[in-house]
Structure 1
Amino acid sequence: MVDVVTLAGSPAPRSTTAVLLEHSKAVLERHSLVVKSMSVRDIPPEELIGQAQFSPAVRHYTQLIRQAGALIVATPIYKDTYAELLRAWLNLLPAGVLRNTLVLPIITGSSARTEAQIYADLAARFRQLGAKHIIPSLFAAEQQIQLTATKSQPRIHRHLEERLGLALDTIAQQLGVLPLAAVA
């Protein structure tokens, strides 16, 4: 059984979106939630380009999402839109896959000026996939996340961490566990 699935929309192996998802996973796992991580890199490029909806990889990830109570999708902003690989990845999912799933979009970028439009685009796509419950997006400015040269713990700005904590509280409450702040 999977409680939460995270999906990293950045093609980079180490990115601000991946850091936020790793942090989210660690927080949710402290509350005994089962969290599975995915990335747009997990589906071979030829399957993304060919829209191979019935490939073993796509079927596997679709099944994980169907089982989950929540999906956290993190994407960077590229040229005023979300990542094209994420768009291709979401296009492989069948209609209705998010019917019973709470969705949290996390958007990272250098400026929040296009965040509202990107959230609207993502929310529309999530609704096409059946989502009824979409948490308002969480915007993270890239300067709020300091990646380190090594795999050591990156630094997340206090205000961003607080906002992320509130969003994760919402997920925890919807999945029937105590709010994260109440347990800390």
Structure 2
Amino acid sequence: MKKLFLLLLFTVVVLVACASPYDPAPQLLPSYVKNVYVRPVVNNTNQYGLEDKFTKAIIDEFMRDGRLSVVTTEEEADGVVVCEIKRYVLQPLTYDENMVTEQYKLWVLINVFFIDKHENVTLWAEPNMEGIQIYADSVKGGFGGMTEEEAREYIWEKLARDIVKRTIKGFGSTGGISERKVQD
């Protein structure tokens, strides 16, 4: 009877522990960070012109959010967003009976860092942040289709929202803080 009671008690403890997942406290942006500068995005792909529209999307999202001012020079900024496009992959997914592509998957991989200019440290880093959009080719006349440019704009908007949310609402919730000094 005692063994049965201990087994039942152990089972209850395990179930209660599993029911409450690990939920770390969010780390909020330091109070002295009032404005942000977005460095021009670095494009390390062979696709021309990606960096300009992505930089504009990040700036627009910070302005739309309104909690941090966007400044025009890095010297007057409290925080700096640094972003690099690592990969840009357009992959055909489905074909019609004539082997013409009907559906594509656009996959973009970026590295993002947020630098605290006052303390000269990287507050958070997100290597390999990805944006994915699967879309039907609108040129072929697919219903609800889009062009590669429209899919790319959708990815830029989504990644920009993620960057702003990560910056303002919390960063490094599972260990993204880096105490390394930023190279000049």
Answer whether TM exceeds 0.5 for this pair.
no
TM-score (norm 1): 0.38
TM-score of the superposed pair, with normalisation by structure 2 = 0.38
